Amino acid sequence: MTSRGLLRAGLLFMAVGYGPAGLVQLLLPKVFYDDFPASGRSWVALLPPYNEHLMTDVGALTLASVLVLVVAAIRMERVMVRTALAASLVFAVPHFVFHILHLEHFPTSSAVSQTVVLGIGVVLPCALLALSARRGALEPVLTPSKPAESA
């Protein structure tokens, strides 16, 4: 697979990964709080208290991020792709750091699995950013040429 194909696949993987979580956060915030990532294995409820406003706002922001990732995957323009990946990191890095510093209420299996999942959320955009720097991986933004002005 080409660098371009890997970048597109990575962007879409991220969008598909974030999309369902964002939809549940926005439309069923209490379900997300009580049951994410799976019923009987909640990670979010281990960090109370529940706040419906916060859950729905995070869901809407997650879906906004999904939109940007999908547009980047479709357009494959250097600025768009790199901005989408950098924006993902602006969220993913502090989110990861917060969670690794707040594992005291987590069973070991949940602490490990959550750390791995959130770590992928940091490593993947970093790897895709590095890949995006390869020659020919992305298209520059094309601007329409101006007709020559006559004197």
Return the pLDDT at 41.
82
Return the pLDDT at 135.
82
Return the pLDDT at 124.
98
Residues of the chain with pLDDT under 70: 140-151
Return the pLDDT at 71.
98
Return the pLDDT at 147.
63
Return the pLDDT at 145.
62
Return the pLDDT at 144.
61
Return the pLDDT at 139.
72
CB-based burial, 65-99: b 16+ in 10 Å, e otherwise: bbebbbebbeebbeebbbebbebbbebbeeebeeb
